[in-house]
Every structure is written in C-alpha cells, then in structure tokens.
Structure 1
C-alpha cells in the first residue's frame, strides 16, 4: 500500500503516525515546528486523508508494513518512528516487525496493553454505528483535556473538523485493527534504541499510569508529561510537544 504523505524539512527522517480518526493534517504544528531540525514525514494511514483503504484484513501489522513500504519508496533505511494514540500502536508494531529500521521511537498518549474484551466489543459497536450512518462527534470531549475544552475554542473546532472528515469505512477498519492488536510490552522490553514517551497531563484515555508502564518496560526510555494537554497533546500544546521531541532528537 503506497501511503500518501506530507513532509517538511531536511535531515534525520522522523515519521509521525497520526491518531484515530485523523489524518496527517493533525501534524501541521509539527511539520512547521520541527522542520528546522529534521525531515518530518507524516503519512495518511490507510483509508484516511489521501490514502486508499485497500482490501486487507484490519491489522496493526498491515499498517506498520505500509510505513515500511513508504520508507522503501523514499529510499530511507532507518528513521525515528513516532506515533500518537493509534499511531503509537502502529509505531510499536513497526518496532516489532522492522526493528532494524528504527533509529529511535516516540510514543505519545498511547499504551502497550491490548484492549480488554469490553473495550474491543465497544470498538465493534462503534464501527457498526459509523457504518450505519452515525458519527464520532460524541467522542471529542474525551480526546482533549479540560483546558482545551474550556480555553481553546480554535483547537476544539479543528479537532471537530478532523473527526468529521474521517471516512466511515476507514474508521471501522481502524477500530477493528485496534481491537485486535496484541500486547506490546515484550516489544518495548526488547527495544535496543532510545524511546521517548509523552503523555498529556490531562489525558484520561491513556493516562500517566500507562505512560509510566511503557517507560519502565523500555530499557532506554525517557518520560515527559505535557502540562495542560489531554489525549491529543500534539494538537493541544504543539510547542511543548515539539520542544520535547526536539530535545530528544538532539541527543541521538
């Protein structure tokens, strides 16, 4: 699957994988804020943005292999692989399937634990609802922190627009892929590369406890808590997010 992508800057390649149910559009602040330090590559995962959905069964491994194919197409042997939320799941799958191609990993507002049976069943109900004409706007208050809900009307409007742009078939496919993902703690324990774990202070979907568990599992890891940010820290507080990533890259 040849993914569409947007990029900016030059230097060390940094691939940023978007959250659900967004597209590479969510990384505008990172393409602008990190381009002076690295080559920021932001793919549209299959079915989202400009990428086709294809006919593969839903799987994080399929999404990770899509990213490897993108790197092949760009002639990139190794890259920093980063992801937020769902993008973090894909990043961990990439580390498992293509470990020799990862220079370092950034895991933002995500978790290594698999879905509980209840969470997986809830994802399937949501997939069926969306395929039947429902939408995801009811999830927006959970995606951002109280600070954004109260004080960042423009950010909230942007998140709403991105959610509403998500194609139903891609939404259902991604939900089923997330529900089927495996436990990734062994993947983290096996890492031989530096890892940066980021979490919004106000993230209730993948809270600090999940971030700490990932940091403890990965041998060479560093945890940064981003103040006044919820689950979408890259969108809510892009300056703080970029500062943490830039400092991490400077040590590579």
Structure 2
C-alpha cells in the first residue's frame, strides 16, 4: 500500500499522522514551522487526500503497516512517529507492530482505550450514513467537536479551513476509517512497554479526547513529556500551531540521531 506524502526540512525524520476525517493538509503549519528543526513527513492515510483506498478490511493495524512501508520507501530506518486523534491510534498500533522503527513518539489529542460498545455502534451508524448519503453528516456530528470554543469564537478562518477539510473527506474512506477505529485494541500495554521517549500533547479545551485521557497516556509511558496547549480544542496543531510546534521542536531536539 503506497501512501501519498508531503515532506519538508532535513534532520531527524518526524512522521505526523492526521486526524479523522482530515488529510495531511492539516499539517501545513507544521511542514512550514518545523522544517528548520527536523524532516517533517506527512502522509495521507489510506483513502484520504492523495492516498487510495483498497479493498482490505478496515484495520488500524493495516494503517500502521502502511506507515512502515512509507518509511521503507523514503529510505528511513527509524523515525519519530506521531499522530493526532486517529493518527494517534495509528501511532500506537505502529508502536506495537514496529517498535524497532521508533526514535520517539508523539501522541496528540488521542486516547489509549478501545471504544466501548456505544461508541462502536455510533461509528457504525455514521459509516452507514456516509456510505448511503455522503459526508454531510460529518458537518453536523463530527465538525462541532473538532475545535474548541476559543477557535469557534475568535478564529473564524481556522474554523472555516477545518470545515473545508471535513467537507472534502471521501465517503468511502470515512466509512472505512470509522470501522477501523471501532475495531482497534486497547493500547495501554503497548505504552507501558515503550522503550523510546514520548511527547503527549492535548488542547485544554479538547472535549473529544480530554486532558484526562492524555494524562492517562503520559502516566503509562515510562519516559513521557506532557504538554497542554491553551485555548485549543481537539485539533491543537491546527488551532494553536505555534505552541504545538514549539513543543515538538523541543522534544525532537532531545532525540539523538542518527
């Protein structure tokens, strides 16, 4: 499975995996702001952006294997691998399946628990609706939770950009990803076994994956740094890119490479 990817900068390779139901376009400010600090690699996860969706069964593990194949294609042996929200789920699966490829881990606005039964049923409901009627349901049910109240009230251009990214989500990829997320495993054992440092980031206004979820991740990881981004909701990297980039640059600066 070949993922479409955009890269900038040089130095320590840092792979950033996007949130649902967006694409690597969400990382624009990271590709621009972090290029002096590291080599930023931002793939479109399968079905989103420029990456195709094949006929494999929905699986977060398959998405993680896609990222390993991307590293092979880029000639990268080991990298800092990170993700936000769904990208965090893929990152944790990558940690479980490809631990020898890691220099470090970034987990932003995500959670390590598996979905409970009600959450799985809700994902299936949205997947079914999107398959039948297109992605309009996402604007009503997913978009409102993606940004915090500060962004909605004060950053109209940012909210408009996020809305546009949600509108662009292909229905097939949305349904596939919802089902993949519904089937994901609990990752706390994986986090406890991490042999590399991790940066855990959360927006203080994130109501989808809360600061408490992020604290639980940081407490599980043996070597973790924990950063709360003020005046940001679930898409902390998009809502407060300067603060997000500062945290990532400081973390990457501690990584010994090659």
The alignment status of 1:192 with 2:184, answered yes or no, reads no
TM-score, scaled to structure 1: 0.99
In 1, Cα distance between the equivalents of 2:168 and 2:154? 24
In 1, Cα distance between the equivalents of 2:254 and 2:43? 25
C-alpha displacement at 1:220, in angstroms?
Answer: 0.3
In 1, Cα distance between the equivalents of 2:60 and 2:187? 11
TM-score, scaled to structure 2: 0.97
C-alpha displacement at 1:141, in angstroms?
Answer: 1.4
The alignment status of 1:226 with 2:244, answered yes or no, reads no
C-alpha displacement at 1:74, in angstroms?
Answer: 1.0
2:27 alignment counterpart = 27
Any idea what the Cα deviations from partners look like across 1:47-85, whole Å, max 9, x if unmatched?
000001011110010000000000011111000001000
1:137 alignment counterpart = 139
| Runs of 4+ more than 2 Å apart | none
C-alpha displacement at 1:113, in angstroms?
Answer: 0.4
Q: Which runs of 5+ in 2 are unaligned?
A: none
In 2, Cα distance between the equivalents of 1:251 and 1:71? 21
SS of the residue aligned with 1:80?
strand
2:121 alignment counterpart = 121
Aligned residue among 177, 186, 209 for 1:206: 209
In 1, Cα distance between the equivalents of 2:247 and 2:207? 21
Give the superposed CA RMSD: 0.5
The alignment status of 1:97 with 2:109, answered yes or no, reads no
C-alpha displacement at 1:133, in angstroms?
Answer: 1.2
In 2, Cα distance between the equivalents of 1:218 and 1:19? 22
Number of corresponding residues: 252
C-alpha displacement at 1:6, in angstroms?
Answer: 0.5
1:177 alignment counterpart = 180
1:6 alignment counterpart = 6
Any idea what the Cα deviations from partners look like across 1:192-240, whole Å, max 9, x if unmatched?
1000000000000000110010011000001100000000000000000
